[in-house]
Structure 1
């Protein structure tokens, strides 16, 4: 309890000190000069006269008797000096927290924001897997009968016979050179109906239409074997019903001799031929027209073994009419 009383003793000491200060101030007030006191009375509303300090004269006595000094206020009526403010009290303890209030109402829905800028186009994805094969559909109903076609093409002996019968369009036709029921069966050929105004050519192609010749020096050492689209019997049947056959052959060379037996061809019956189309040896770019020796079955070239020596050959199809 002694410790608890210390603040009270401190306050009591402070009150005693204040009383002492007030007493000291009262003494100071009584020790003021007389003139200062009189000045204070005048301020309170009294009319006073001053007199000189020294011996009194008669006139002074008379004057004092005629006018008496009014009584001033008693010493107890004077205003005291304000006391010293008290020491602030100790702050009180914080109160307990209140309970949480109820949840407020949900606010109104805000306005829709501004539409954003479209993003960049993405990269193309990988191709998808192939789907499963569908089931086979049902067979549809039969179609209607078509219109009757043009007059059927007759089975004739050659392309020239077909052209004379009025078929002037080039293309593939079936022919029967030895006639119906005789020898070979009918077969298909290519008919050239436009290269000549009046003649239709039965055309037989092969596999060696052109090629380069180089690196063979000896006579006829470069060999080209020619294979035709039709068999030998069919070729012979066509030749048998034709008045003439033709086959274009050409050999262009650089630094190589055309004559001297270096270049020649083999006929269909295996005979070496040095005359190119029945013209003198040495003629280039000729068209062979000897029916008995056509078609060309082999080409033979030479004198192309040295530097700068080479040749190019061209062999057309066999055409008979």
Structure 2
């Protein structure tokens, strides 16, 4: 019996040992190969030592859904009150929207503060210009002085007001298209005018222009300008000019001037100076005195000490076909002394 029992025990131990060997082999297969699943097997120390290079980075994933908006933060502390804006600067900027001239600033929008403004002229470009809206340019008597003081050649031609101390402003026209700038004094007789009088005696008809500047204002313009001139013209039919001293002009001091525009010698017109009159036996075209021909004598008066002319005197107009037309130009002064 004991022999049989020992045999059975030994046989049982052999069977148990064989099952354990099979289980260890199966476990080894699962760990190394994961033969039954297809999943990556856990790495062992030996496998990590022989690991290959990393693979390429995969494509970027899609952007995730935007998260919910966060809660509103706390209101910040109120800042200190800033300095008050300068009213003049704001008004100047606002006025640039539709304003094309300094005159429009004054007449349409009632601006009355002198200063630089942005103006929209006829072109699409805007310009930054000084507008004198309240009083005249104090102590300035030429347009060249304005250009020199504000250091710009881009000022727009137009009417400006000058002012002597303790006197009322007076108006001039500044022509900045010329070099040097021209200071023009306009008056009420600058277009050609037919003489309706039929008087005969010498100088019986008189035409006296009313200038925008007078007296000392005019003298300051002349005194501060480099040069001045004034255009004068007589168109005539059967009317004499310097022949027999029929017609002449009067200086600002009241002197009877015996030469005509374009000449400097007494008794001469421009054609007489150049020996180019219609009849060279006379010194003026009108002096041929033809009632069948319309002639003319014209030119600039340039003696600054005599300008502007105060009056034009014409005679010899009583005949049926005798007639005359006169033109007195603006006073033009150039530069700045």
Q: TM-score, normalised by structure 2?
A: 0.47
More strand by share: 2
Q: TM-score, normalised by structure 1?
A: 0.49
